[in-house]
């Protein structure tokens, strides 16, 4: 791989890391929202929606981390 393509991949990897950090922050906010709900609300529709959102964001975070790993391997 030439220097220019490696540089472009490195920039993309940095952008994905930034997105990953932003997503982690949102996930943490949603988890805090759920954790601070009264127990009755946690078992209700809003609580279930918050749990589902947190779970989906965890899946997205895992996918972004996998993408970063794949890019790093490609740059070797």
Convert the pLDDT of each residue in 31-65 to its tens digit.
999 999 999 999 999 999 999 999 999 999 999 99
| pLDDT score of 13 | 97
Q: The pTM is what?
A: 0.90
Long-range contact pairs involving 50-57 (C-beta distance under 8 Å, separation at least 24) = 54/27, 54/30, 57/23, 57/26, 57/27, 57/30
Task: Select the more confidently predicted residue: 66 or 1.
Answer: 66
Mean pLDDT within 19-25: 98
Total domain count, the chain:
1
The whole-number pLDDT of residue 21 equals 98
Structural domain boundaries, residue 8: 3-75
């Amino acid at each position: 791989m030439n220097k220019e393509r490696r540089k472009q991949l490195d920039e993309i990897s940095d952008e994905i890391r930034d997105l990953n950090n932003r997503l982690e922050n949102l996930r943490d906010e949603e988890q805090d929202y759920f954790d601070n709900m009264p127990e009755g609300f946690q078992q209700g529709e809003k609580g279930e929606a918050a749990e589902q959102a947190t779970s989906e964001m965890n899946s997205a975070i895992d996918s972004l981390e996998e993408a970063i790993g794949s890019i790093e391997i490609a740059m070797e």
